[in-house]
A and B are shown apart, each in its own frame.
Chain A
Amino acid sequence: MKALLIPALRYFALFIVLYGILTAISMTPAVGEFCNRIYRKPTEPILAALLPKAYLQIKAEGALYDTLRIEFASKAQVLEQIAIAKKTGQAMTRIDGMNNLVNFQNLFTSFFVFLVVLVLLSPVSWQQKVKGIVIGTFIYYLHTVFKLYLVELIYFNEPNIAIYQTNPTLLSIAKGIRYWMTVSTNALVVLIIWAVVILKKDNWQALLGRNGKLGIGSNIKS
C-alpha cells in the first residue's frame, strides 16, 4: 500500500505547489486586470447578442479585478425615453440603468487555473498539454458564458426589471439549470473537460502505470 500512496502523495503535493503558485500569480493586480479584460472582450458582444432586448456592458471592478459589473438597461425603455424627449423638445434624457456583480474569481479564474494545473500534471506530451489547455479553456469559457447568460436572463425576468417575459416553462428550465451550476459544480465541469481533452485509453495506462506499476506522479520527471 505504501508503494501506491507515495506517488499519489507526491502528485498531490506537486498539485498543491503548482496550483498555489498559479493562483497567487492570477491574483496579482496586473494579471487579474489582464484576465478580466481578455474575458470581457468577447463576452460582452456574445451576451449582448444573446440578450438583444437589453443594452449591456461589462466592466471590471475590485482592486484585484476579481469582479465583473454587468450594467444593463432595457432597450424598450430607452427608446421610450428618447421618444418622450423628442416629443417634449428635450435635448437630453436620463436613462436609469441597473447592474449586478459577478465574482470573476469564482466564475472563471480559480477553475481555469485548476484546469491548467490538471493538464500540466498529466502524463502526455507538451504538444498535447498545450492543445489540452487551449481547447479546455475554450470549452470552460463557453460554460461560464452560458452561466452568465442564464443569470442575466433570470434577472431580466424579475418583475422590477421586466426586460424579458420569458415563457414560464422555459424560465423554469433556465432556473433549474442555473440552480445546478454552483461554484462546486464548476470543479466537476473542469474534471470532465480534463477527462475529455486529455485522457484517452493509452493515457489512462500511463496515469495508472503500465503493467500495474505505480501511476500518478511516476511520469512527472519524464
Chain B
Amino acid sequence: MAVFYAIYFSTFYQTHFEKPLVHGQAVIGNLLLNLFGYDTKVVGSAIVGADFSVDIQNGCDGLEAIGILVSGILIFPASRKQKVTGLIWGVGVLAVLNLFRIAALYLAGLYFSKTVFEILHIQGGFIIFTMISVVLLFTWMNWVASQSLKAAP
C-alpha cells in the first residue's frame, strides 16, 4: 500500500493519469444514468444535471479499494496463475461496482438532502466500498486455500 500511495499521490500520476481516469469514469457513470432516463452530461470529471451535479475527485475513483485488494493478492502465498485470476476478477468487479456507486451518488444527491448525500458519500463511498474489497480479497484467499486442498495428495 505504501508503494500504491507513493504512486497515487505523485505528481506524475496526478498530471498524466488522474484526469483521464476520472473523466472516463464520469463518461461511463453518465451513460448509466442516461440508460435509466436521466438527462445528464459530462463536463470534465463531473456529471451534470439540471438540478444536481457530482464531481469525481481523487478518492472517489475506487483506486484505493482496488489498491487494498491488489496488495492483499500480491502478498498472499499463491501461484502466479491464481494471483492473475484474482486480480482480473477482483479489479474488474470493483471497477464496475465503482461506476454504479458514482451513478448512485448522483441519484442520492438529486433526491436527498446535502447531509444525506455526505453521509452516503462517506459511509457508502469509502467504508462500504472498502469492505467490498476486503470481502473479495478473503473470498479469493478462500478459493486459493480450497484449490490447494484439491491439489494435495
Instruction: Provide the bound-state CA to CA distance between A106 and B121, in Å.
Output: 11
Instruction: Provide the bound-state CA to CA distance between A16 and B143, in Å.
Output: 23
User: C-beta contact mask, A160-191 vs B, less than 8 Å → 1, else 0?
Assistant: 00000000000000000001101111111001
Instruction: Provide the bound-state CA to CA distance between A27 and B135, in Å.
Output: 26
Interface positions of B from 16 to 69, Cβ below 8 Å from A: 59, 64, 68
Instruction: Provide the bound-state CA to CA distance between A212 and B1, in Å.
Output: 27
A8 (CB) vs chain B CBs: closest residue? B139
Asked whether B123 lies within 8 Å of A216 as measured between CB atoms, the reply is no
Interface positions of B from 62 to 112, Cβ below 8 Å from A: 64, 68
Residues from chain B with a CB closer than 8 A to the CB of A15 are 131, 135
A111-B127 contact given A4-B146, A215-B138, CB 8 Å threshold: yes
Instruction: Provide the bound-state CA to CA distance between A216 and B5, in Å.
Output: 28
Could you tell me the distance in whole angstroms from the C-beta of B29 to the nearest C-beta in chain A?
A: 18
Q: Kindly state whether residue A81 has any CB partner on chain B within 8 Å.
A: no
A182-B59 contact given A23-B123, A105-B122, A114-B127, CB 8 Å threshold: yes
Asked whether B135 lies within 8 Å of A8 as measured between CB atoms, the reply is yes
Interface size bucket, B side?
A: 20 to 34
Instruction: Select which of B5, B139, B148 is within 8 A of A4 by beta carbon.
Output: B139
* Size of the chain A interface, CB-CB below 8 angstroms: 34
Interface of A is mostly: helix
A216-B139 contact given A19-B127, A106-B122, A191-B68, CB 8 Å threshold: yes
User: C-beta contact mask, B114-147 vs A, less than 8 Å → 1, else 0?
Assistant: 0000010011001110111011101101110110
Residues from chain A with a CB closer than 8 A to the CB of B148 are 212
Q: Kindly state whether residue B149 has any CB partner on chain A within 8 Å.
A: yes
Residues from chain A with a CB closer than 8 A to the CB of B149 are 211-212
Asked whether B139 lies within 8 Å of A5 as measured between CB atoms, the reply is yes
Instruction: Provide the bound-state CA to CA distance between A91 and B59, in Å.
Output: 53
Asked whether A110 lies within 8 Å of B130 as measured between CB atoms, the reply is no
Asked whether A214 lies within 8 Å of B142 as measured between CB atoms, the reply is yes
Q: List 15 A-B contacts (CB under 8 A).
A: A8-B138, A12-B135, A15-B135, A27-B119, A105-B119, A110-B123, A182-B59, A187-B126, A187-B130, A188-B68, A191-B68, A208-B141, A209-B145, A211-B149, A216-B135
Question: Which residues of A approach B to under 8 Å, CB–CB?
Answer: 1, 4-5, 8, 11-12, 15-16, 19, 23, 27, 105-106, 110-111, 114, 179-180, 182-188, 191, 207-209, 211-212, 214-216
